[in-house]
A and B are shown apart, each in its own frame.
Chain A
Amino acid sequence: MIQLYNVTKSYLRGQNALNDITLKIEKGEFVYLTGPSGAGKSTFLKLLYCAERPSRGQILINGRNITRFGVQRIPLLRRDFGIVFQDFKLLNRRTVYENVAFPLEVTGHKRFEISKKVYQTLKQVGLQHRLNDHPLQLSGGEQQRVAVARALVVEPLILLADEPTGNLDPDVTLEIMEMFKDANARGTTVVMATHDRQLIRQFPRRILELDAGCIQMDDLPC
């Protein structure tokens, strides 16, 4: 599903954020991306959803080489992803419903189809009663659940999450993890950056540990 070949990323100044990474993530896998702050976790994810381009190397997503993707093809690539961030990145001037509906509007779904899917997904994350509220009226945990709903409503091939639980208290963290596990169980490949070791122990999965842009460890749970 995701293949990297000798991928190096260097920003304009400073050392390489990622250094000669070669790895493969299979369809349906759940992978933690871990390592200290500045290790290159966010950069890794950004390369996958084409917010950054690799300086060297090739990246294949679902069999397509995205390294040379033109700007026009990036939006189409992103429709295969659901992306969740630490800071949610919701549309704060839209309602919860509109936020979750937006990715479907972008792809031109019919209205009744959209509402069906949105209700269904909001129910999954337990927010069906808040659909007319605005994100800033919700708690951090609820906002993140909206973000997860937005990511999952399109039934993505790949779910990318960049420290999704970084700002949340433990119970909410567990809720979010359950949602990711459910999505994974339905076949979505999950790549989640986190430095929460306890969480990884609690839900053991394959671990990719980065340090200073290099893979320190690529381990399957025992």
Chain B
Amino acid sequence: MLGRPGYHIRRALRNMRQSPFLSLASIATVALSLALLAFFALAVLNVQQLMASWGDEMAIVAYLDDPPEEKVLQQWLADIRAYAEVQDITYVSQPEALERFRERLGPEAGLLDGLDAQILPASIEIHLREELRQRTTLETVAGQLQQDARFEDLTYGREWLEKFEAFLLLLRISGAALGSFLMFAALVIVANTIKLTLYVRQDELEAMSLVGATSLFIKLPYLFEGTLQGLIGGVLALGASLLVFRLLLMDVLAKLLMITGIDTIHFLPPAWQVGLVLGGGLIGLLGSLFALRKFARIGPA
């Protein structure tokens, strides 16, 4: 009796055709809330990715105002390499530092003409092993190095890292809060639209139950209807966020993150895209289940 999904889906489609405005309202709500959620996810994911890529450049830099002679220096470098966390180190001598600075200045490089290489310190750039490039490990290794009088003058961009991590956390928390609020709102609205259609069709539900339709048989099309509306909403949200991403967000994010090459900004990964659509379906299904709970006893009126 219930083994005919085609039959129930046809009934669901007919119901939707017969109250297009209510259906559109549900679809639009799901689409809107999921699209907002998708925008947030886009922002978080991209910022996160950016941080990861910056992480590659994260290094501890020990400045040597007064670099020792070559033999001593090699010993120092060997000492640093001995740390288990360290992957490799680069020594930048004073002339190299000046050369780099010159390169960075580009057309303004003339300003440096005639200056002595001594004005810039030499430095040792210490790169940690890839899996350890996080604020906490950077902090520990830097702390250990700092104990050593030779490498007192250390930087590893701690403040900025902290700020960035805090920003990311804020973004995630507000995204999650807004997201769950929106999902909940979508759920309530879908539940209420379905409830409204049920009220409109109460006579029909009664007539069905009088000829011996089980309550599952009566409800099934409404569950399909809700789920289908949710899925459509999810697909629309995906489409809308892709569109907005292409037309707008890509530029805005790129500017916001001060990135030159736009190809480092990414759309939601495939798993998220699927999740968005399925999430819509789930909202629809739960919404209609909610609505139908009250109608559990259609039978003996």
Interface residues of A (CB under 8 A from B): 49-53, 71-72, 74-79, 81, 83, 89-93, 102-103, 105-108, 150, 154
Contacts and interface: CB of A to CB of B under 8 A. Distances in A.
A106 B301 contact: no
Contacts of B203: 89, 92
Contact of B300 (A52, A81, A89): A52
Interface in B267-301: 297, 299-301
8 shortest interchain CB distances as A-B pairs = A79-B212, A78-B212, A108-B1, A103-B211, A106-B213, A75-B214, A75-B212, A74-B299
Nearest to A99: B207
A42 to B, nearest CB: 12
B103 interface: no
Given A50-B299, A93-B204, A106-B208, 12 more contacts: A52-B300, A72-B214, A74-B300, A75-B212, A75-B217, A83-B210, A83-B211, A91-B204, A91-B208, A92-B204, A106-B214, A106-B217
Contacts of A53: 300
Interface string B215-230: 1010000000000000
A153 to B, nearest CB: 9
B209 interface: yes
Nearest to B1: A108
Contacts of A102: 208, 211, 213
B87 interface: no
Interface of B: 1, 4, 7, 18, 203-204, 206-215, 217, 297, 299-301
B222 to A, nearest CB: 15
Contacts of A91: 204, 207-208
Nearest to A93: B18
Contacts of A71: 215, 297, 299-300
A117 to B, nearest CB: 14
B63 to A, nearest CB: 80
Contact of B212 (A89, A93, A103): A103
Given A50-B300, A51-B300, A71-B297, A106 B212 contact: yes
A124 to B, nearest CB: 18
Q: Which of A76, A89, A154 has the most CB of B within 10 A?
A: A89
Contacts of B301: 51
A52 B215 CA distance: 17
Contacts of B299: 50, 71, 74-75
10 contacts: A71-B215, A75-B214, A83-B210, A89-B206, A91-B208, A105-B7, A106-B217, A107-B1, A107-B212, A154-B211
A141 B210 CA distance: 21
B269 to A, nearest CB: 44
A49 B210 contact: yes
Contacts of B7: 105
A210 to B, nearest CB: 21
A38 B287 CA distance: 41
B196 to A, nearest CB: 16
Contacts of A78: 209-212
A89 B204 CA distance: 8
A89 B213 contact: no
A89 B210 contact: yes
Contacts of B209: 75, 78
A51 B212 CA distance: 12
Contacts of B217: 75, 106
Nearest to A108: B1
Contacts of B208: 91, 102, 106
A95 to B, nearest CB: 12
Nearest to B2: A108
Contact of A76 (B212, B215, B297): B212
Contacts of A106: 1, 208, 211-214, 217
